[in-house]
Structure 1
Amino acid sequence: MTSHAISPDGTQPAPALTLGARDYKTLALSALGGTLEFYDFVIYVFFATVLGALFFPPDMPDWLRQLQTFGIFAAGYLARPVGGIVIAHFGDLLGRKRMFTLSIFLMAAPTLVIGLLPTYASIGIAAPLLLLAMRVLQGAAIGGEMPGAWVFIGEHVPAQRYGFGIGALTSGITGGILLGSLVAVAINRHYSPAEVSGFAWRIPFVLGGVFGLVSVYLRRFLHETPVFKELADRKTVARELPLRTVLREHRAASVYVALLTWVLSAAIVVVVLYTPTYLQKVHHIQPALALEANALATLTLTIGCVLAGWASDRIGTRAVMLIGWGGLFATAYLFYTGLPGTPATLFWHYGLVGLFVGTIATVPIAGVRAFPAPVRFTGL
Structure 2
Amino acid sequence: MSKKWLIAVTGTFTHLLLGTVYAWSYFQNPISESAGWSNAQTAWAFSLSIFMLGVTSAWAGNKMSVYGPRRLSMIGGALYAFGYLVSGFALAHRYLFLLYFGFGIMGGIGLGLAYVAPVATVSAWFTHKQGLATGMVVMGFGFGALVMSKFLAPLLLQLSDGNLSTTFYYVGAVMIVLIPVLASFLQLPKPDKTHEKKPERISIARHIQSKPFIVVWLIFTINIVAGMIFISFQSPLLQDILKMRMSDGTNFSDGETMASLAAAGATLIAVSSVFNGMGRFAWGSISDKIGRMYTFRILLALQAVIFGLLILVHHPVVFSVLVCIVLLCYGGGFGVLPSLTKDMYGSKLMPSLYGAFLTAWSMGGIIGPQIVAFMKDNYAEKAGLFAFVVGGGLLIVGFFTSFLYRRKDVINLEN
TM more than 0.5 = yes
Indicate conservation of the 8 Å contact 1:151/1:368, yes or no: no
Give CA-to-partner distance per residue, 1:347-379, whole Å, 9 cap, x none: 433333333333222223313444454543332
Indicate conservation of the 8 Å contact 2:52/2:105, yes or no: yes
- Measure how far apart 1:172 and its partner are: 0.7
- Which of 117, 130, 151 is matched with 1:148 structurally? 117
Partner of residue 350, structure 2: 376
Indicate conservation of the 8 Å contact 1:294/1:350, yes or no: no
Q: Report the 3-state secondary structure (helix = DSSP H, G, I; strand = E; otherwise coil) of the residue aligned with 1:234.
A: coil
- Which of 238, 243, 255 is matched with 1:279 structurally? 238
Indicate conservation of the 8 Å contact 2:62/2:351, yes or no: yes
Indicate conservation of the 8 Å contact 1:293/1:346, yes or no: no
In structure 1, runs of 5+ residues without a counterpart are 1-19, 122-126
Indicate conservation of the 8 Å contact 1:84/1:141, yes or no: no
In structure 2, runs of 5+ residues without a counterpart are 245-260, 355-415
Partner of residue 300, structure 1: 275
Indicate conservation of the 8 Å contact 1:37/1:108, yes or no: no
Amino acid aligned to 2:175: F
Partner of residue 7, structure 2: 26
* In the alignment, structure 1 residue 50 sits paired with structure 2 residue 20: no
Q: Report the 3-state secondary structure (helix = DSSP H, G, I; strand = E; otherwise coil) of the residue aligned with 1:221.
A: coil
Give CA-to-partner distance per residue, 1:100-141, whole Å, 9 cap, x none: 3322222122123323445346xxxxx212111112111222
- Which of 285, 290, 293 is matched with 1:310 structurally? 285
Partner of residue 134, structure 2: 166
1:61-80 alignment runs, 5 A limit? 65-80=38-53
- Measure how far apart 1:67 and its partner are: 1.3
Q: List structure 1 runs of 4+ shifted beyond 4 angstroms.
A: 187-192, 229-233, 372-375
Indicate conservation of the 8 Å contact 1:97/1:222, yes or no: yes
Indicate conservation of the 8 Å contact 1:108/1:208, yes or no: yes
Amino acid aligned to 2:110: A
- Measure how far apart 1:28 and its partner are: 0.8
What RMSD, in angstroms, separates the aligned Cα atoms of the two structures? 3.2
* In the alignment, structure 1 residue 115 sits paired with structure 2 residue 88: yes
Q: Report the 3-state secondary structure (helix = DSSP H, G, I; strand = E; otherwise coil) of the residue aligned with 2:187.
A: coil
- Which of 168, 181, 204 is matched with 1:246 structurally? 204
1:89-100 alignment runs, 5 A limit? 89-100=62-73
> How many residues are treated as equivalent by the alignment?
335
Q: Report the 3-state secondary structure (helix = DSSP H, G, I; strand = E; otherwise coil) of the residue aligned with 1:166.
A: helix
Indicate conservation of the 8 Å contact 1:107/1:142, yes or no: yes
Q: Report the 3-state secondary structure (helix = DSSP H, G, I; strand = E; otherwise coil) of the residue aligned with 2:184.
A: helix
Structure 2 vs 1, CA of residues 232 and 140 (structure 1 numbering), >3 Å: closer, same or farther? farther
Counterpart CA distance in 2 for 1:37 and 1:337 is 35
Indicate conservation of the 8 Å contact 1:92/1:378, yes or no: no
Partner of residue 107, structure 2: 138
Counterpart CA distance in 2 for 1:212 and 1:175 is 19
TM-score by length of 2: 0.70
Q: Report the 3-state secondary structure (helix = DSSP H, G, I; strand = E; otherwise coil) of the residue aligned with 1:23.
A: helix
The share of aligned pairs that are identical, in percent, is 15
Counterpart CA distance in 1 for 2:96 and 2:186 is 37
Partner of residue 363, structure 1: 337
Structure 2 vs 1, CA of residues 214 and 82 (structure 1 numbering), >3 Å: closer, same or farther? same
- Measure how far apart 1:234 and its partner are: 2.4
